Chains A and B, each alone.
Chain A
C-alpha cells in the first residue's frame, strides 16, 4: 500500500502511533487520543479504519502495533516531516521552536514526489534541524541511529548524538547543563526498578530519569 492511498487524517494517526512507539512506548489508544487532541471514541474510529486497511493491529493489553506495510509508510512520513523541518528552518527562516509543529500539520498532505523535489531543492540533507537522520527516498536510514542512553549499563560510556524528543524546553534545559551533542556521558549507576541513571559529564554528575535518558541517543564508546 502506498501513502498516497491513505487519507491524510489516517496518515496523521499512523504517524502518531509510530511516534508514540518510538518516544513513549507502549502506544495505547488513550495516549494516541491525547496526542491527537481527539476524544477516545474518535481515536477508536480512526484506529478501526487503519485496521481495516491492514495497517494496524491491537495486541492484547491494548498495545497498538503497526504492520510492516504501515512501518514503511511511517518511514516515508518521517522523511516528509524532517525534510519539511529543514525547509521551514533553512529556507523560510521560521523560528526553530515553531518548525516541529508546523511540519506536523503539513506532513500528512505532502505528496511523496513533492517531498523528493524538496529534498533536491535542499541538496539532499542528511539530518533534520534537530540532528535526527532523514530517511532516503527508498525508505532506508543511512545516518547513525544511536542507542538510547538508558540502554547502557553502569560503567559504559557514550557520546551524545542527539536529543530525540523534539521539544525545545527539554533540549534547552539539557543544553544549559552541558548535555549537548558530541559530549561524552559516563554511566556510573543505574537504579533498579526503572529508577534513574547516575551519569557523569565532565566534572558534574546528574541523576536522569529513565524517560529523559531514553530521549538521549548516544554512540557507545
Chain B
C-alpha cells in the first residue's frame, strides 16, 4: 500500500502541472478521470483511512499533466472520513488548479463545493457536467454568466461521452499558467464578511506560518466554522489561546446577530449564494418530462420496488451463474484443448517426469486454469452487471429498499450489493465494500461477505451434497450458512465498538448509461482483481502441488486427527483436504477424491464408499464456512490490514469448527 503523503509529494515534484478533480458523488467525476487518464493509475491511502485518492499522469498536446482524483464529497469539512481525505490530499498536494465537476441539473446544491474551495483560496475551473440531462429536463444554463458570477472559467461537458473535455483541459492549463492572480472570493453577508476580515487581519498580524500556506481569510473562515483541524492548529500556537478567543468572539457576534451558530450561518450563506447564482444563470424552457420520473419512483415505492428488486437480484444471480458458467466452460475447454498439452510437453521436457515437473504443472497449468475458470468468468460478469446497476442509478434504489434489513446488521443499504456479489466471488465483493464510509461498516460487511458461499464453494456443495446426499440437504447448507451469517452480523454489531452512522444519501433518477464508460469501468476494476488474486492463486496451486507430489500431505494426518475424527467425525483424509483447500476452495472435492483413491484404492471415486451421508453434509458445511481462500485473506489484508484479516479468518475457522461439530452430533442423534 502506498502512503499518501510520500506518493503525493513525488507526484507533485515530478510534474510541471497538476490538476485535482473534485465534485459531489454521482456527478460524473470518475468519467472525467477515466477519460483524462489511461493506464498507470496509482492508488494512495492515508494510514488508517479507507477512502482513497487516485493519482495519474496524462499527456495533453505534448504536455504532461498530473491528475489527482479526490473522493466525491458534498463539502470540504474535516468531520467525515471522505471529506477529511479529500481536503487533506488537496492541501498536501497544493495542485495548480482544482477542476470541480458540477451537476447541471442540481446547480444550486452543487455550487456549494466550488464556493468552499474558492474560500480556501484554490484556483477553480468548473466542469458544468450533465448538460445533456439538463437540456432534456428543459433547463438552459448560461455558462458564460456563471463564469462571470463566480469569477472562474466554466466549461459545459458531457463527461460520459467525452464531450467538452478537451476544452476543459485547455481551460485548466490556461488557469494553471495564469500566474499570481488570486481567485475572486465569494462574498457573504456584510456582518459575516466583517467578522472574517477582522479575524483574518489579526491572524495576518500574528506573523505565524499558517497551515498549508492558506490565506488569512481561509484560516479565519475555518476557525469561524469551528473546523477541528484549524482549531487544533491554533491550540498548538504559543498565542493559540488568544487566537481561539478572538475567533470565538467573532463567531459569537455572528451567532448573536442571526440567532444561530456561526458555522451554521456560514453554511446557510454559502447555500444562499449558491442558490442565488444558480437562479441567475438558469432558465427553464419546458417542464421536465414526468414519464422517466414516474418510472424511477416505481423503483423506490415499496409496492413495486420490492418485487422489482427481487427480479433484479434473481436476474443478477442467474446472469452470474449462466454467463459465468458458460464463460468458464468455454475458457476451460479452450485451455485444455490449445494450451495445456503444449505446456505439459514443455514442462516435462525441461524437468522430466518427476515430482518437480508435476509440482510446477500444479502452478502453471492447473493454477492458471483455476484463474480462468473461477476468477475471470464470474468476476468479469459481476463487474459488468455492477457497472450497469451503478451507471443507471438503480443501485441507489437498492440501497434505499434494503436499508431496514441492513440496519439490523449494523450496516446500511449501500452494503447490499457487495453482499450479493459475494455469491460470485468474495474477492471483488470485499473490494466492493469500499462504498461504505467507515471502517466499522467495512469490517462488518467484509466478515459477512466471507460467510457468503462463493461459486467455488457452491461447486463443492453441488458436487458433494446435492449429488450424493440430495437437494434438500444442499439447500439446508445454504439456510444454515445464511442463519449463521445473520447471527454473526447481529452479534458483531452489538460487540464492535461504535455505532453505524445513519443513512444520508443523495438519490437521483435514472441516467442514460454509456456502454463505453461501463466497459472501461468494468475493465478498471477487473484489472485490480487480477493483480491481487492471480499471483495468490498461482502460488497457492504450486504450494499445493509440492505438498501433494512430495507426499508431505500425509504428514498432517496425525496432528489433525483429534479435530477431524474426534470433533467433526470425518475420516482423516477429509480433514487434509479441508486444510489444503484454503489454497483453492473448489479443489476440496477433487482433492478428496484423489487422496481417497490413494488411500482406499480405486473404488473410492464414489464418496459414499468411505463417508456416510451425514459426513458429507458436515464436510461441505465446514468447507463452506471457514476462510474463503487465501486470495480472500490477501484482499482482506490489503483492504483492512493484516490484523483484521487474521481475526476475521480465525473467526470463520472457529465458526466452521463449531457448526461442523454441532452438525455431526445432531446428525448422529437423528440417525
- A-to-B contact residues, CB < 8 Å: 89-90, 93-97, 127, 129-131, 168-178, 180-181, 188-189, 191-196, 198, 202-212
Contacts and interface: CB of A to CB of B under 8 A. Distances in A.
Contact of B400 (A169, A172, A195): A195
Contacts of B399: 207
A169 B226 CA distance: 11
Contact of B264 (A89, A175, A203, A205): A175
30 contacts: A89-B252, A90-B255, A95-B248, A96-B251, A96-B261, A96-B263, A97-B231, A129-B255, A129-B261, A168-B263, A169-B80, A170-B502, A171-B264, A172-B77, A173-B504, A176-B77, A180-B267, A189-B300, A193-B405, A194-B404, A195-B302, A195-B403, A196-B400, A196-B403, A196-B503, A206-B507, A208-B503, A209-B503, A210-B502, A212-B504
Interface in B396-446: 396, 399-401, 403-405, 407, 412-413
Contact of B503 (A170, A174, A207): A207
B206 interface: no
Contact of B403 (A171, A180, A207): A207
Given A97-B231, A207-B507, A208-B502, 8 more contacts: A96-B251, A168-B79, A173-B504, A178-B112, A180-B268, A191-B403, A192-B302, A195-B404
A173 B79 contact: yes
B582 to A, nearest CB: 38
A176 B79 CA distance: 12
A194 B259 CA distance: 34
B260 interface: yes
Of the listed residues B75, B79, B108, B275, the one surrounded by the most CB atoms of chain A closer than 10 A to its CB is B79
A202 B107 CA distance: 11
B150 interface: no
Interface in B496-514: 502-508
Contacts of A175: 263-264, 267-268
Contact of B407 (A130, A189, A194, A204): A194
Nearest to A206: B506
Contacts of B112: 176, 178
Given A169-B80, A172-B263, A198 B400 contact: yes
Contacts of B297: 188-189
Interface string B482-504: 00000000000000000000111
Interface string B264-294: 1001100100010000000000000000000
A173 B80 contact: yes
A94 B502 contact: no
B410 to A, nearest CB: 12
Contacts of B300: 189, 191, 198
Contacts of B271: 178, 180
Q: Is the interface of A mostly helix, strand, loop or mixed?
A: mixed
A176 B75 contact: yes
Contacts of B74: 173, 176-177
B401 A191 contact: yes
Interface in B220-241: 226, 228, 231
B226 A168 contact: yes
Interface string B371-408: 00000000000000000000000001001110111010
A93 B507 contact: no
Contacts of B262: 96
A211 B502 contact: yes
A93 B251 CA distance: 8
A165 B482 CA distance: 36
Contact of B267 (A127, A172, A207, A209): A172
Interface of B: 74-75, 77, 79-80, 105-109, 112, 226, 228, 231, 244-245, 247-249, 251-252, 255-256, 259-264, 267-268, 271, 275, 297, 300-302, 396, 399-401, 403-405, 407, 412-413, 502-508
B260 A131 contact: yes
Q: Which 6 residue pairs of A and B lie closest in terms of their CB atoms, listed nearest first? A: A209-B503, A176-B75, A212-B502, A93-B248, A209-B502, A175-B267
A95 B226 contact: yes
A202 B403 contact: no
A209 B503 CA distance: 5
Contacts of A188: 297
A166 B400 CA distance: 26
A205 B261 contact: no
B264 A177 contact: no
B654 to A, nearest CB: 25
B109 A180 contact: no
Nearest to A94: B248
Contacts of B109: 177-178, 202-204
B507 A205 contact: yes
Contact of B505 (A129, A191, A207): A207
B264 A93 contact: no
Nearest to A30: B494
A206 B261 contact: no
B501 to A, nearest CB: 8
B617 to A, nearest CB: 34
Contacts of A189: 297, 300-302
B302 to A, nearest CB: 5
Nearest to B249: A93
Contacts of B249: 93
Nearest to B113: A176
Contacts of A170: 502
Contacts of B506: 177, 204-207
Nearest to B266: A175
Contacts of A89: 252, 255, 261
B535 to A, nearest CB: 40
Contacts of A194: 404, 407
Contacts of A178: 108-109, 112, 271
A216 B619 CA distance: 52
Contacts of A169: 79-80
Contacts of A205: 506-508
A84 to B, nearest CB: 15
A203 B302 contact: no
A176 B302 CA distance: 29
Given A90-B256, A172-B79, A203 B226 contact: no
A96 B226 contact: yes
Contacts of A131: 260
Given A175-B267, A181-B260, A208-B503, A203 B108 contact: yes
B413 A93 contact: no
A211 B403 CA distance: 12
A180 B503 CA distance: 17
Nearest to A214: B502
Contacts of A172: 75, 77, 79, 263, 267
A93 B79 contact: no
Nearest to A194: B404
Of the listed residues A90, A96, A181, A188, the one surrounded by the most CB atoms of chain B closer than 10 A to its CB is A96
B302 A208 contact: no
Contacts of A174: 504
A90 B297 CA distance: 47
A51 B508 CA distance: 51
B282 to A, nearest CB: 10
B301 A93 contact: no
A196 B107 CA distance: 25
Given A169-B79, A169-B80, A175-B264, A209 B108 contact: no
A11 B102 CA distance: 51
Nearest to A180: B268
A172 to B, nearest CB: 6
Contacts of A212: 502-504
B106 A204 contact: yes
